[in-house]
């Protein structure tokens, strides 16, 4: 796993990336279409702009892939990947401006398969180099913050505003902001609700085997129901509640919109929260628990001072599952009028408007990735004390 | 155990009735349908939708299993060591991609219909199986592998007669996870015009017909629960035979 | 003084501990020995009420343990178990300070006590205070476990197979250390073991349990010389009984006038060592010294006679 076992000379993953990257260069890099709906014409990477502009970008991408071959120097591989990504960005921004020049008022340019594949290959190279370098949680947090800052700066600067998806964004900036808030509200709100219900339930289940035996199968049964069916089934239930109890209707509980989506997400979240709380609390070494009891700790002291601190990494891992899962599932809310990024995704699918799909799907993916990375860092921080006794 | 068996039988019969004789349920669903609207979905037969749905899942999961296990075997051989850290990162980060987003992103690349659904199901199904297969193959009891070498099995024999059979229950758990996700994601596939049971639910959502939503939801839910249960049973039977 | 009075524990009507009565003097070590399932651990755990007795009672210095809430009772009884049971997420200092903190000692007082105990167990406070259990060797973990049990100067220290997880060489050292520390502090210790050798080596008194009953309670010499039943005899190990007995008796008892060749043994050494020396050197006797002066000899015949005395 270390650099040494990987051998000197050429890195096998690097070789794979270089070959895939070279193949991806042959694919169309960008698409130019006369308007928003019609499918367009692919343009190769070297043809997106005048050679004087395109060549430096291409050179950076190729250099990045070549640097990725150096097995013994993971930092060089990382730098190469970043240079390659910068090259891609250069080609994309310069290419968009060049292609749009004189292409008509409604013309749209968007990244095509070649761009996505090269981006993916270079991101994998980043991931591979990082897996070898193994940065600690603090450094990882710093790198994530730096990445997000650069991304924000790029979007803010208008470097990519010629791109079709950004044009789409520009015409929906307000709706996008609302969708973001709603999406976050759904994902984090349901996480919080699931925590409020799930932690006490998990602690009770840990204490009582009969309750555990009854609860966990029911929760995993809920988890099995396909999301669209679950969201759909919430509609009649909450519709009935809203219609029957005026008080419920007054706080906004109805068959359509936020409430059914929220409830569905909470139900999906309960299994990971409860199961991981139980598993985390059960991970306390039996001898430590016996000693705690023998020294005169009360049940509450044992829970707060011994079981919870020792179970924290596992409990946080459960929250990671929930958060990532909910960010993704919240998209379905778009189908039942619950808002969030799903609104754009499904509108886009309806209108066969690729850019609208991307406007919904890309932030969702980014949000899920960031949530996963942040939670991974938290889990690792919680694990910091040596937890295994030889 | 006995109650479980009875419950299972009841659910199977309920599912069969819902798919084959939807007409029987008219009185149950009627109060949920809008006044004068259709109660039972009739735009296409529920049986053909179910078969198409299950077919998509089976094809995608079958292909995913084949590729994922092959990759896991390659990565766990000495020659594949260099790919192991990368594989871990990919499985860890890849599974954070929301299935719906993967499906939606497949549309620009592949157009509408069964194609993108199949690709999305396949790609997304790879990861849990690969992860489990990789974990299982790299954490086999060393004594057993040593013994297999000791009695003179060659590498291929060790793989097919010792390593894969021992890893099978864990791989199966990955397949179960992957199939359940695929069943759910295929439902959403009907938004990109794949023929699946999601069609019924979507039709209900679009026409405010709760009867359709409930009908489709029940059928998909029952399929998922029963398939999950069947695979769990198979899994515990296999691991019991291996004495775990 | 600990008085155990007809204490009984029944599980599903079956007695696990059956009307056991015994008195433990303060400042002594009592070893409870028995096979697994003999009820020895249940007996120990009833003393600090980790297991509630079905009937009977325990009095510590005349006060019944039933008069106090169980967790408050446990805070004044030390408890150390097999595999040490240290909290993996807490440093050595925090682990040792657990009970003092529960008792509300001030921070300074806890810190002082922790350092004192670490020094007592020959672990440099500067070096060990902030380590985590996972960073210690098995022997060190065990010492920290015992130090933690002693932290609040308890009236009584209960130990359940405290050396069970240690390898033989470290175990012998740990036993010697415990003996020394007990003598220095004058603590009262009750410890459970399945190892008769350990019981004989450590105990001032040995209690043999079988099938929930106390079958014999006496000094190690009594247990070896006059086993109350075949079971006790078997536990002692019929074949090794003479050797075990000899290992308890000092040379001084059998010194007689006369000369002998070879390296002299101190009078406090055991007859077993003298026997060993005779056999190894092929001599009929070994010289004995007291305060550096040879005072006589012990003959092989005398040892033989002493060992066979009870046969």
On chain A, the residues whose CB falls within 8 A of the CB of C138 are 390
Q: In angstroms, rounded to a whole number, what is the distance separating the alpha carbons of residues A382 and A354?
A: 42
Q: In angstroms, rounded to a whole number, what is the distance separating the alpha carbons of residues A331 and A347?
A: 12
Q: In angstroms, rounded to a whole number, what is the distance separating the alpha carbons of residues C291 and C58?
A: 45
For the segment A67-84, the average pLDDT, to the nearest whole number, is: 88
Rounded to 10°, the helix A354-382/B99-110 angle is 150
At residue B79, does pLDDT exceed 90? no
Q: In angstroms, how far is CA C270 from the centroid of its own chain?
A: 19
At residue A172, does pLDDT exceed 70? yes
Chain C contact for A244, CB < 8 A?
no
DSSP C220-278: HHHHHHS-SSHHHHHHH-GGGHHHHHHHHSBGGGG-BSS---SPPEETTSBHHHHHHHH
φ, ψ at C124 (rounded to 5°):
-65, 120
Asked if B108 and A32 count as a contact pair (C-beta separation under 8 A), the reply is: no
Q: Do C138 and A390 touch (CB under 8 A)?
A: yes
Q: What is the pLDDT of residues A334-366, one digit of tens each?
A: 888 888 999 999 888 888 888 888 899 999 999
Q: What is the pLDDT of residues B23-41, one digit of tens each?
A: 888 888 877 777 777 878 8
Model confidence at A375, pLDDT cuts 50, 70, 90, reads: very high
User: Residue B195 domain-assigned?
Assistant: yes
On chain B, the residues whose CB falls within 8 A of the CB of A372 are 92-93, 96
Chain B contact for A33, CB < 8 A?
no
At residue A209, does pLDDT exceed 60? yes
Q: In angstroms, rounded to a whole number, what is the distance separating the alpha carbons of residues A257 and A185?
A: 13
Size of interface A-C (CB pairs under 8 A): 84
For A287, nearest residue in chain C (alpha carbons): C85
Which CATH number do you get for residue B111? Answer: 1.10.3720.10
Q: Of the given ranges (A4-18, B1-15, B90-104), which has the lowest mean pLDDT?
A: A4-18
Q: In angstroms, rounded to a whole number, what is the distance separating the alpha carbons of residues C59 and C302?
A: 45
Asked if C185 and C150 count as a contact pair (C-beta separation under 8 A), the reply is: yes
At residue A235, does pLDDT exceed 60? yes
Q: In angstroms, rounded to a whole number, what is the distance separating the alpha carbons of residues C254 and C299?
A: 8
Model confidence at A95, pLDDT cuts 50, 70, 90, reads: confident
Best CA proximity match to B222, nearest among B10, B27, B69: B10
At residue C208, does pLDDT exceed 50? yes
Range of the domain at B91: 45-241
- Is the four-CA dihedral A112, A116, A119, A121 of positive or negative sign? negative
Best CA proximity match to C51, nearest among C11, C102, C99: C11
Chain A contact for C133, CB < 8 A?
yes
Chain A contact for B218, CB < 8 A?
yes
For the segment B187-201, the average pLDDT, to the nearest whole number, is: 87
* Alpha carbon of A109: minimum distance to chain B alpha carbons (Å): 14
For the segment A278-302, the average pLDDT, to the nearest whole number, is: 92
On chain C, the residues whose CB falls within 8 A of the CB of A390 are 134, 138
Q: In angstroms, how far is CA A65 from the centroid of its own chain?
A: 25
Q: What is the pLDDT of residues A307-323, one digit of tens each?
A: 999 999 999 999 998 99
Q: Do A290 and C85 touch (CB under 8 A)?
A: yes
Q: In angstroms, rounded to a whole number, what is the distance separating the alpha carbons of residues A70 and A62?
A: 14
Model confidence at B1, pLDDT cuts 50, 70, 90, reads: low
φ, ψ at C77 (rounded to 5°):
-120, 120
At residue A4, does pLDDT exceed 50? no
**Which residue would you say has higher pLDDT here, A38 or A52?**
A52
Q: What percent of chain C has pLDDT over 90?
A: 46
Strand partners, C289: C266, C294
Model confidence at C260, pLDDT cuts 50, 70, 90, reads: confident
Q: In angstroms, how far is CA A68 from the centroid of its own chain?
A: 25
Q: In angstroms, rounded to a whole number, what is the distance separating the alpha carbons of residues A293 and A308?
A: 15
Q: Do B187 and A348 touch (CB under 8 A)?
A: no
Q: Output the six-digit token pair for A228.
A: 């669209």
Highest mean pLDDT among C69-83, C233-247, C248-262: C69-83
Among partner residues B112, B180, B188, which is closest to A224 by beta-carbon distance? Answer: B180
At residue A295, does pLDDT exceed 70? yes
Q: Output the six-digit token pair for B124.
A: 């997304």
Mean pLDDT (chain B, rounded): 86
Per-domain boundaries in chain A: 3-153, 173-383
Q: Output the six-digit token pair for C18.
A: 């059956």
Q: In angstroms, rounded to a whole number, what is the distance separating the alpha carbons of residues A189 and B108?
A: 31
* Alpha carbon of A307: minimum distance to chain C alpha carbons (Å): 10
User: Which site among B39, B100, B228 would you substitute to test the A interface, given the most A Cβ atoms closer than 10 Å to its Cβ?
Assistant: B100
Model confidence at C110, pLDDT cuts 50, 70, 90, reads: very high
Neighbours of C229 (CB within 10 A): 12
* Alpha carbon of B105: minimum distance to chain A alpha carbons (Å): 7
**Which residue would you say has higher pLDDT here, C249 or A184?**
A184
Q: Do A229 and B105 touch (CB under 8 A)?
A: no
pLDDT of the residue at A385: 62
Q: Do A357 and B108 touch (CB under 8 A)?
A: yes
Neighbours of B70 (CB within 10 A): 12
Q: Of the given ranges (A233-237, B167-171, C123-127), which has the lowest mean pLDDT?
A: A233-237
Number of domains in chain B: 1
Highest mean pLDDT among A41-55, A127-141, C99-113: C99-113
pLDDT of the residue at A6: 44
Q: Is A315 exposed, middle or buried (0-12, 13-18, 19+ CB in 10 A)?
A: buried
pLDDT of the residue at A228: 85
For the segment C8-32, the average pLDDT, to the nearest whole number, is: 92
Chain B contact for A369, CB < 8 A?
yes
Size of interface A-B (CB pairs under 8 A): 157
pLDDT of the residue at C79: 93
Task: Give me the helices (H) in B190-243, please.
Answer: 198-206, 210-241
Q: Output the six-digit token pair for C269.
A: 């050494």
Q: Output the six-digit token pair for C152.
A: 């609040």
Q: In angstroms, rounded to a whole number, what is the distance separating the alpha carbons of residues A118 and A76?
A: 18
On chain B, the residues whose CB falls within 8 A of the CB of A380 are none
Phi-psi region of A290 (alpha: psi -120 to 50; beta: other; left: phi over 0): alpha
Does C have 3 or more CB contacts under 8 Å with B? no
φ, ψ at B66 (rounded to 5°):
-55, -50
* Alpha carbon of A283: minimum distance to chain C alpha carbons (Å): 11
pLDDT of the residue at A265: 93
Tell me the residues of chain A between 81 and 140 that have a Cβ less than 8 Å away from chain B: 113, 124, 127-128, 130-132
Pairing mode, strands A108-111 and A30-33 = antiparallel
Q: How far apart are the first and last CA of chain B?
A: 20
Asked if A324 and A368 count as a contact pair (C-beta separation under 8 A), the reply is: yes
User: Residue B139 domain-assigned?
Assistant: yes
Distances (CA, A) of C210 to A299, C4, C36: 33, 17, 9
For the segment A72-76, the average pLDDT, to the nearest whole number, is: 86
Q: In angstroms, rounded to a whole number, what is the distance separating the alpha carbons of residues A99 and A77?
A: 32
The residue count for chain A? 390
Q: In angstroms, rounded to a whole number, what is the distance separating the alpha carbons of residues A355 and A348?
A: 7
Asked if C81 and C160 count as a contact pair (C-beta separation under 8 A), the reply is: yes
Asked if A57 and A87 count as a contact pair (C-beta separation under 8 A), the reply is: yes
The residue count for chain C? 311
User: Which site among B104, B106, B119, B193 would you substitute to test the A interface, given the most A Cβ atoms closer than 10 Å to its Cβ?
Assistant: B104
Q: 3-class SS at B193?
A: coil
For the segment C185-193, the average pLDDT, to the nearest whole number, is: 92
The residues near A180 (Cβ < 8 Å, ≥ 6 apart) are: A341, A363
Helix, strand, coil content of chain B in percent (nearest 5): 85, 0, 15
Tell me the residues of chain B between 193 and 212 that have a Cβ less than 8 Å away from chain A: 198, 201-202, 204-205, 210
Per CATH, the number for A173-383 is 1.10.3720.10
At residue A390, does pLDDT exceed 70? no
Q: Do B82 and A12 touch (CB under 8 A)?
A: yes
On chain C, the residues whose CB falls within 8 A of the CB of A387 are 88-89, 134
Q: Of the given ranges (A385-389, B13-17, C70-74), which has the lowest mean pLDDT?
A: A385-389
* Alpha carbon of A386: minimum distance to chain C alpha carbons (Å): 6
At residue C311, does pLDDT exceed 60? no
Among partner residues B86, B112, B228, which is closest to A128 by beta-carbon distance? Answer: B86
């Amino acid at each position: 796993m270390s650099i040494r076992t990987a051998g000197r000379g050429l890195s096998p993953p690097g070789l794979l990336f270089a070959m895939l990257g070279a193949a991806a260069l042959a694919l169309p890099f960008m698409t130019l279409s006369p308007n928003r709906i019609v499918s367009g014409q692919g343009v190769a990477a070297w043809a997106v702009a005048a050679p004087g502009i395109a060549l430096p970008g291409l050179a950076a991408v190729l250099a990045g892939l070549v640097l990725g071959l150096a097995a013994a120097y993971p930092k060089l591989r990382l730098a190469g990947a970043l240079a390659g990504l910068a090259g891609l960005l250069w080609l994309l921004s310069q290419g968009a401006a060049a292609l749009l020049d004189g292409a008509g008022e409604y013309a749209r340019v968007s990244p095509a398969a070649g761009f996505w594949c090269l981006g993916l290959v270079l991101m994998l190279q980043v991931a591979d180099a990082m897996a070898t370098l193994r940065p600690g949680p603090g450094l990882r947090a710093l790198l994530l913050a730096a990445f997000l800052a650069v991304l924000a700066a790029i979007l803010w600067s208008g470097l990519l505003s010629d791109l079709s998806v950004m044009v789409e964004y520009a015409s929906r900036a307000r709706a996008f902001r609302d969708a973001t808030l709603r999406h976050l509200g759904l994902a984090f709100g349901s996480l919080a609700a699931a925590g409020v219900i799930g932690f006490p339930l998990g602690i009770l289940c840990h204490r009582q085997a009969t309750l555990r035996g009854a609860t966990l199968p029911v929760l995993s049964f809920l988890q099995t129901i396909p999301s669209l069916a679950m969201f759909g089934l919430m509609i009649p239930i909450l519709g009935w509640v809203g219609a029957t109890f005026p008080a419920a209707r007054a706080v906004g509980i109805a068959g359509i919109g936020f409430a059914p989506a929220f409830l569905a997400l909470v139900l999906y979240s309960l299994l990971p929260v409860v199961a991981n709380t139980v598993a985390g609390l059960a991970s306390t070494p039996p001898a430590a628990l016996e000693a705690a009891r023998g020294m005169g700790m009360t049940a509450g002291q044992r829970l707060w001072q011994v079981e919870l601190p020792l179970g924290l990494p596992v409990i946080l891992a459960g929250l990671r599952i929930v958060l990532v899962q909910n960010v993704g599932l919240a998209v379905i809310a778009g189908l039942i009028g619950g808002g969030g990024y799903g609104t754009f995704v499904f509108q886009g699918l309806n209108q066969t408007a690729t850019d609208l799909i991307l406007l919904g799907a890309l932030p969702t993916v980014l949000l899920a990735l960031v949530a996963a990375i942040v939670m991974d860092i938290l889990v690792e921080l919680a694990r910091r004390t040596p937890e295994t006794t030889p | 155990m006995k109650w479980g068996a009875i419950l299972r039988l009841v659910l199977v019969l309920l599912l069969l009735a819902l798919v084959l004789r939807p007409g029987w349920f008219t009185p149950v669903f009627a109060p949920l349908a809008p006044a004068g609207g259709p109660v039972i979905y009739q735009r296409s037969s529920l049986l053909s939708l179910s078969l198409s749905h299950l077919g998509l899942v089976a094809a995608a999961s079958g292909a995913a299993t084949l590729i994922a296990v092959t990759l896991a075997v390659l990565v766990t051989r000495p020659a594949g060591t260099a790919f192991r850290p990368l594989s871990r990162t990919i499985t860890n980060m890849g599974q954070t991609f929301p299935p719906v987003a993967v499906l939606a992103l497949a549309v620009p690349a592949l157009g509408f219909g069964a194609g993108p659904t199949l690709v999305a199901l396949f790609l997304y199904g790879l990861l849990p199986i690969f992860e489990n297969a990789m974990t299982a193959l790299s954490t086999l009891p060393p004594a057993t592998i040593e013994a297999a070498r000791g009695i003179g099995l060659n590498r291929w024999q060790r793989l097919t007669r010792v390593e894969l059979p021992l890893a099978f229950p864990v791989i199966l758990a990955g397949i179960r996870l992957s199939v359940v996700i695929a069943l759910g994601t295929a439902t959403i596939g009907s938004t990109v015009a794949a023929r699946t049971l999601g069609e019924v639910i979507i039709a209900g959502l679009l026409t405010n017909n709760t009867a359709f939503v409930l009908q489709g939801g029940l059928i998909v839910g029952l399929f998922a629960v029963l398939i999950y249960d069947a695979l769990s049973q198979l899994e515990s039977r296999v691991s019991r035979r291996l004495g775990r | 003084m600990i008085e155990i009075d007809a204490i009984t524990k029944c599980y599903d009507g079956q007695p696990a501990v059956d009307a056991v009565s015994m008195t433990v003097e303060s400042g002594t070590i009592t070893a409870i020995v028995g096979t697994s399932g003999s009820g020895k651990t249940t007996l120990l755990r009833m003393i600090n009420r980790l297991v509630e007795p079905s009937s009977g009672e325990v009095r510590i210095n005349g006060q019944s343990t039933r008069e106090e809430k169980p967790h408050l009772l446990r805070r004044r009884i030390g408890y150390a178990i097999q595999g040490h049971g240290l909290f993996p997420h807490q440093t050595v200092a925090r682990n040792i300070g657990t009970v003092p903190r529960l008792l509300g000692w001030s921070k300074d007082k806890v810190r002082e006590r922790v350092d004192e105990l670490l020094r007592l167990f020959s672990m440099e406070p500067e070096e060990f205070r902030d380590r985590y259990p996972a960073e210690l060797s098995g022997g060190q973990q065990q010492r920290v476990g015992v130090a933690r049990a002693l932290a609040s100067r308890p009236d009584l220290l209960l130990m359940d197979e405290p050396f069970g997880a240690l390898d033989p060489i470290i175990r012998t050292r740990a036993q010697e250390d415990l003996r020394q520390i007990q003598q220095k502090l004058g603590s009262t210790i009750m410890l459970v073991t399945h190892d008769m050798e350990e019981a004989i080596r450590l105990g001032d008194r040995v209690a043999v349990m079988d099938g929930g009953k106390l079958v014999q309670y006496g000094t190690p010499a009594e247990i070896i010389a006059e086993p109350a039943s075949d079971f006790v005899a078997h536990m002692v190990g019929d074949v090794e009984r003479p050797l075990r007995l000899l290992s308890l008796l000092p040379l001084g008892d059998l010194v007689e006038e006369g000369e002998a060749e070879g390296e002299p043994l101190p009078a406090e050494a055991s007859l077993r060592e003298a026997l060993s020396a005779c056999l190894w050197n092929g001599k009929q006797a070994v010289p004995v010294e007291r305060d550096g002066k040879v005072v006589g000899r012990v003959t092989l015949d005398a040892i033989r006679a002493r060992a066979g005395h009870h046969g």
